[in-house]
Amino acid sequence: MVEQVTYYQALNRALDEAMAVDDTVFTLGEDVGLYGGSYRVTEGLYARYGAWRVRDTPISEGSFTGLGVGAALIGMRPVVEIMTVNFALLALDAIINMAAKIPFMSGGQFPMPLVVRMPGGVAKQLAAQHSQRLEHTLMNVAGIRIAVPSTPQDAYWQLQQAIRSNEPIVLLEHELLYFSKAELDTVQPAIPMHRAVVRRSGSDITLISYSRTAILAQQAAQQLAEQGIDAEVIDLRSLRPIDWQTCIDSVNKTHHVLIIEEDSVYAGAGAEIAAQLAERCFYILDAPVARHGGLDMPTPYNGQLEALSIPTLDSIAQAASKVLEGEAE
Amino acid sequence: MDRQLFHGMLKDMLLARSFEERAAQEYSAGNIAGFLHLYPGEEAVAVGVIHAADQSDYIVSTYREHVHAMVRGVPPRAVMAELFGKLDGCSKGMGGSMHLFDRERRFMGGYAIVGETYPVAIGLGYAIAMQRLPEAVICFFGDGAVNQGTFHESLNMAALWKLPVLFVCENNHYQIGTEIHRHSAVSDVYQRACGYDIPAHKVNGMDVLEVHAKTGEALQRIREGTGPQLLEMETYRFRGHSVSDPGSYRPRVEVDAFRQRDPIKQAEREAQSLYPDAQQLSAVGADHIQLFSAHLQQQDLINEQEIVKLQQQVDSIVEDAVQFAQQSPQPDMQQAWDALNCNRADEVLI
């Protein structure tokens, strides 16, 4: 079955299907029930599954995420929605100190089939406290996995895979992607949850990205093609673990790398990717690994400044040209 | 109170005291490292509460949890081996003193971040309520932990959804070195529960019989489906916060006053007083004496010799636990990786 659906509908479908076949799956968070979710991901589920399985919570991120941890310890499959990633800072104890560490600290005794979904990124003038990225913090946490879907297909697959897994998984969803539409095939078997995908094949430079900037990178590649630059675009789909082999295979072809992230470049996700590729690909690189990302500042409210604080289609194309000119940023 | 239960509780209290004092010695000898938070003085709480619970109830505890684990049935050997960081420890040497776990016995962990036990407990409670199971969750925390946000967040949700959780405050009057009047605007912890409409009581936590009785009543109400309950156990730790803390911030007279109320001595006194003396027996009259004697024989509560015998028993259990811990192998790095990836199974990630 192939149809055109939005990203939020794909997530909704994945959650609905998982809840239909497994009574231990339940979701909780602020306004996920009666209201249907602030990005409509849980729309219709409250009516279908009732209040115990689609639980509206008080504004208590620390404890309702921890509630998910406690329930997961005895085999339930909670899907916690944190209204935005910014609020997840209040839930980091539950994610980092509890979910990631209990299976380990107990000597391997407990399952942790916990999924924590969080919308994030820079949306439309939501100002600094609602325009956060958190991948840098979460990537450093041994014991959790991180998926960063950019398409409805990946959102569908990765949420279903996350719910089935017995390990704690964070899904970083991008607020500007919820209403983007693309094909969803619900019959085709899923590819492994953390495998990277080559979205566009090319021979001159490898653009590595994830989430919304992976979409921008594909558009930038079109623009570069008009300038005679043949860019390969890798959508990582996952930040922990990262599929290094797909990256290395690409660098073997192109010998040039540009990493694009919306997050601040300083100690961001790209720092780890750049370090790994510098170590693993040093002798096949024709230029230093380059990074292009958000400015090292909180996101400004002003619309023009906000747009300039994160990568755009044009800035990505320019950054890629610079790498090939040997003038990396 | 039946003899077996009483003997079990007294034995557990004696074991707790003996185990903890020995752990302190082993710490000094260098066999135990890291932080070590000991329980002497507070035994009546863990023993009274956990003896009143069903085996199917879940226990969530803090970093001062060796005794809770043992009372729940985790073998002293496995607890001591964990303190030693050895492979036969109940967390395979990966957790240590503050992170004892035993899935089979529903001992859901010791947590070392103050205030973490509440969300874990309401999560377990949520799973139980959602599946309409008859179980309950016992959530331990200290008086210092009531100032964390999770206390309020979790009590609110527990009350809102009538979750089967018994919140048990071990009020030993100190959050590390800060006395309760200096850390809490309301020094009667149980009063805080009324903000969430949770029934709460203060209990003499130095009296194991009272602890046991009040816990039983609270659990009964929880099983009737009325939602969470809170008990504030007023108790005292005879030692510092951890072995590295001499506790010098506490007035000597205060420590001495609480030592006079040693819960183990109190339990022993209570046990012995259940024996009627000759005068009491004669006052009952002949027929009643026969009946009463038969009843006592049947109950056969306890006497001095039996206490000495119990003490010998627990001392040898502790000695055996130390021997076991010493002989247990060190875990290797592969076992650490296996613990980290214990939930991976055959999942293909990339």
Q: Output the pLDDT for position B272.
A: 63
Residue A243 identity: D
Question: Is residue A176 within 8 Å of residue A212, measured between CB atoms?
Answer: yes
Residues of B in contact with A74 (CB under 8 A): 58, 124, 127
**Greatest extent of chain B over all pairs of C-alpha atoms, in Å:** 84
Task: Give, to the nearest 10 degrees, the angle between helix B43-52 and helix B208-223.
Answer: 40
The 3-state DSSP class for residue A113 equals: coil
CB contact under 8 A, B127 and A74: yes
CA atoms within 13 A on the CB side of A34: 2
Q: Report the distance separating Cα A3 and Cα A242, nearest Å.
A: 29
What's the predicted TM-score (pTM) here? 0.94
**Closest B-chain CA to A63:** B119
Helix (H, G, I), strand (E, B) or coil at A139: helix
Residue B103 reports pLDDT greater than 60: yes
pLDDT in tens, B214-236: 999 999 999 999 999 999 999 99
Catalytic (active site) residue A292: no
Q: In the prediction, which pLDDT does B1 show?
A: 59
Rg (C-alpha) for chain A, rounded Å, is 20
Other beta carbons less than 10 A from residue A90's beta carbon: 17
CB-based contact, B119 to chain A, within 8 Å: yes
Q: Which residue has the tokens 């985790």?
A: B74
Domains of chain A with bracketed CATH: 2-185 (3.40.50.970), 197-324 (3.40.50.920)
Average pLDDT taken over every residue of chain B: 90
Suggest the residue from B342, B344, B348 to mutate for an interface test with chain A (most A CBs closer than 10 A): B342
For chain A, say whether B123 makes contact (Cβ under 8 Å): yes
Identity at A107, one-letter amino acid code? G
What pLDDT shows up at residue B290?
39
| B chain contacts of residue A145, beta-carbon cutoff 8 Å | 349
CB of B102 less than 8 A from some CB of A: yes
Percent of chain B at pLDDT exceeding 90: 74
State the amino acid at position B67 in one-letter form. V
Tell me A267's DSSP state.
T
Q: Which of A130, A174, A194, A256 is catalytic?
A: A130
Q: For residue A98, give the DSSP letter.
A: I
SS3 (DSSP) at A284: helix
The DSSP element (H or E) to which A47 belongs, if any, is: helix A45-49
Q: Which residue in A30, A63, A198, A242 has the most chain B C-beta atoms within 10 A of its own C-beta, making it the best mutation to test that interface?
A: A63
Q: CA dihedral defined by A69, A74, A79, A85, rounded to 10 degrees?
A: 10
Q: Residue B271 has what pLDDT?
A: 66
Contact A106 B94 (CB under 8 A): yes
Domains of chain B: 3-340 (3.40.50.970)
The one-letter amino acid code at B266 reads Q
d(CA B179, CA A271): 46
Catalytic pick from A30, A43, A61, A232? A61
Chain B hits for A30, Cβ within 8 Å: none
| Dist CA B173 CA A308 (whole Å) | 55
SS3 A85: helix
Assess whether the previous peptide bond of A241 is cis (omega < 30° from 0).
yes
Which candidate, A22, A88, A80, A77, places its Cα nearest to that of A56?
A80
Distance to chain B for A77, nearest Cα, Å: 10
Report yes or no: B349 at the A interface, CB cutoff 8 Å.
yes
3-state secondary structure of A144: coil
How many other CB atoms sit within 10 Å of the CB of residue A262? 26
**Residues ≥6 apart with Cβ < 8 Å to A75:** A24, A111, A113, B127
B90-99 mean pLDDT = 98
Largest CA distance in chain A: 59
Quick check: A97 and B348 CB within 8 A?
A: no
Residue B342 C-alpha, separation from nearest chain A C-alpha, in angstroms: 5
For B211, the token pair is: 């602890």
Q: How many CB pairs under 8 A join A and B?
A: 161
Cβ-contact A242, A273 below 8 angstroms:
yes
- Please check whether residue A194 is in contact with residue B349, taking contact to mean a CB–CB distance below 8 angstroms: yes
Band of pLDDT at residue B253, cut at 50, 70 and 90: confident
For residue A70, the SS3 value is: helix
Q: What is the ipTM of this complex?
A: 0.96
DSSP for residue A318: H
Residue B284: band (very low, low, confident or very high) from pLDDT cuts 50, 70, 90: very low
The DSSP H or E segment spanning A171 is strand A169-174
B286 min Cα distance to partner chain A (Å): 57
Cross-chain Cβ contact B126/A192 below 8 Å: no
- pLDDT at residue number A329: 47
Secondary structure element (H or E) that encloses residue A294, with its range: strand A290-294
pLDDT of residue A17: 98
Angle in degrees, CA A233, A173, A3, rounded to 5: 75
Q: Which residues share a beta bridge with A153?
A: none
Which chain A residues have a beta carbon less than 8 Å from that of B129? 52
User: 279-338 in B: which are within 8 Å (CB) of A?
Assistant: 336, 338
Q: Locate the chain A residue with the closest alpha carbon to B58.
A: A74
What would the two tokens of residue A153 be?
């297909």
One-letter amino acid identity for B69? A
Token pair of A160 as six digits: 């279903």
Lowest mean pLDDT among A172-186, B147-161, B174-188, B273-287: B273-287
**Token pair for B125:** 């409670």
Cβ <8 Å between B120 and A97:
no
Task: State the Cα–Cα distance between residues B224 and A309, nearest whole angstrom.
Answer: 58
Tell me the C-alpha distance between A268 and A221, whole Å.
23
| Facing A108 at nearest CB: one of B102, B339, B348 | B339
Q: Note the pLDDT of residue B277.
A: 53
Contacts A97 to B, Cβ<8 Å:
113, 116
Helix axes B149-160, B117-130, angle to 10 degrees: 10
Chain A: residue nearest B87 by CA? A107
Beta-carbon count within 10 A of B22 CB: 17
Identify whether A30 is a catalytic site residue. Answer: no
Instruction: Please give the Cα distance from A259 to A314 (Å, whole number).
Output: 15
Looking at CA atoms only, how far is residue A130 from chain B in angstroms?
22
Let me know: does A28 contact B130? Beta carbons within 8 Å: no
Q: Mapped to the 3 state alphabet, what secondary structure does chain B carry?
A: CCHHHHHHHHHHHHHHHHHHHHHHHHHHCCCCCCCCCCCCCCHHHHHHHHHHCCCCCEEEECCCCHHHHHHHCCCHHHHHHHHCCCCCCCCCCCCCCCCCCECCCCEEEECCCCCCHHHHHHHHHHHHHHCCCCCCEEEEEEHHHHHCHHHHHHHHHHHHCCCCEEEEEEECCEECCEEHHHHCCCCCHHHHHHHHCCCEEEEECCCHHHHHHHHHHHHHHHHCCCCCEEEEEECCCCCCCCCCCCCCCCCHHHHHHHHHCCHHHHHHHHHHHCCCCHHHHHHHCHHHHHHHHHHHHHHCCCCHHHHHHHHHHHHHHHHHHHHHHHHCCCCCHHHHHHHHCCCCCCCCCC
User: Which residues in chain A touch residue B339, judged by CB atoms under 8 angstroms apart?
Assistant: 103-104, 106-108
Q: At residue B104, what is the residue type?
A: E
A166-180, B252-266, B276-290: which range is least confident on average? B276-290
Mean of the pLDDT values across residues B319-335?
98
Interacting residues of B66 by C-beta distance below 8 A, sequence separation 6+: B16, B19, B20, B23, B38, B39, B79, B83, B97, B100
B133 contact A CB<8A: no
Q: How far apart are CA B107 and CA B255, in angstroms?
A: 31
pLDDT attached to residue B159: 98
What tens-digit pLDDT sequence spans chain A (329 residues)? Answer: 799 999 999 999 999 999 999 999 999 999 999 999 999 999 999 999 999 999 999 999 999 999 999 999 999 999 999 999 999 999 999 999 999 999 999 999 999 999 999 999 999 999 999 998 999 999 999 999 999 999 999 999 999 999 999 999 999 999 999 999 999 999 999 999 999 999 999 999 999 999 999 999 999 999 999 999 999 999 999 999 999 999 999 999 999 999 999 999 999 999 999 999 999 999 999 999 999 999 999 999 999 999 999 999 999 999 999 999 975 44
Please give the structure tokens belonging to residue B240: 């510092």
